[in-house]
Amino acid sequence: MSRKRESSWVDRGESAIPKLRQALVHFFERFDEAAEPFLDEHATIVFGMVAADATDVQIAMYLRGVVRDVGFPAREPLGSRLFAISLWHIAKVALVRDAAERRLRQQSVVNAQSAETLGNWLAERLMTPDELQAYQQRIDELTEHETIRETDSAYAD
């Protein structure tokens, strides 16, 4: 059974291109398989436009230009602005998701690189230089034997 969050293409990490293509099928009224390369091309262009910070108005103008150039749908496409808003949001949600995932990966790498133990962090800040040296020597001795227990301390008698 799938978890609820996996039911969305966004949560599954899928590309926005198939969703854009699916929407463009209805806008251009091109339901035949022969139109797939045409739809793929324009879905990719719309995605690129959004990635380059195009607005929904610019996407609507692009769609109107394509209709004018290719001659279909035969009718004047109604709602190209509303359709452009939908396409913009489909592309933008994928871009925001991808950016957020990249940022999370970068943070986890930074956190992994600075994996200093709490004991060492506290020792460096709370001990005098002589105490810190004795503490580090004791830790080194314990590490050599690989038997560190909670009762082990640099100050244990």
What does the pLDDT read at residue 136? Answer: 86
What does the pLDDT read at residue 72? Answer: 79
Report the distance separating Cα 95 and Cα 89, nearest Å.
10
What does the pLDDT read at residue 109? Answer: 65
Using alpha carbons only, how large is the chain's radius of gyration in Å?
A: 29
What phi and psi values does residue 143 have, to the nearest 5 degrees?
-65, -35
Round to the nearest angstrom and report the end-to-end CA distance of the chain.
57
What does the pLDDT read at residue 110? Answer: 62
Task: Please identify every stretch of the chain with a pLDDT value under 70, giving residue numbers as ranges.
Answer: 1-5, 76-78, 109-116, 144-157
Cβ-based neighbours of 16, under 8 Å, separated by 6 or more: 9, 47, 90, 91, 93, 94, 95
DSSP classification of residue 76: P
